[in-house]
Amino acid sequence: MKKHILLVIVTIMICFSVLAGCMNDSTGNKDVEHAGNAENTFDFGGVELCNGSVALNLAPDAKENQLTEDFLRTNTKQITVSAETVPGSATIDVFLYSAESADEPIAFATISSSSKRAVFENLTFSAAYKVGAAMSGTSDTVSLTISD
């Protein structure tokens, strides 16, 4: 009987030892640090387009692509660029840049007097974007409205 009680006590102690070891490290290896779930680590700040729109005023004498000052974020997976008026034969080449690759555009569209709106679709809400534009064929300033 004493052997039976001793066996039960030893078994209980082994169970508690194993349980305590599992609580310290689920893999049993105390030299390994486990990483948690990663979130988007890009921190570009910027303007949330769901809070309104952003204007980009294009100067007619600009020699290079004119960009939005801030990065833009969308929750609708699209960014719309529109012009209320486009003078005569003017064309506006619109470029979309992602924050992760800000040197090369990821999409391109053209706005003219016949099509005053460009929509960039299939975007992700976890990225930030900039819109750039180059204008030709006019000496007027044109204002673009960027929204989602």
pLDDT for res 35:
41
- Would you kindly state where each structural domain of the chain is located, as residue ranges? 1-34, 47-147
CA angle centred on 27, ends 21 and 29, rounded to 5° = 75
CA angle 94, 86, 46 (to 5 degrees): 40
Q: 79-138: per-residue pLDDT in tens?
A: 999 999 898 889 999 999 998 888 899 999 999 989 999 999 998 888 899 999 999 988
d(CA 148, CA 133): 17
For the 47-147 domain, the top CATH level (class) is mainly beta
Model confidence pTM above 0.75: no
Q: What is the pLDDT of residues 12-31, one digit of tens each?
A: 777 666 655 555 555 555 44
What is the CA 59 to chain-centroid distance, rounded? 28
**Of 97 and 45, more confident:** 97
Token pair 């960014």 in the structure block, residue? 79
The SS3 of residue 15 is helix
Q: What confidence category does residue 48 fall into, taking pLDDT thresholds of 50, 70 and 90?
A: confident
- Do 85 and 77 touch, CB atoms closer than 8 A? no
What integer is the mean pLDDT of 34-55?
60
Structure tokens at 80: 């719309």
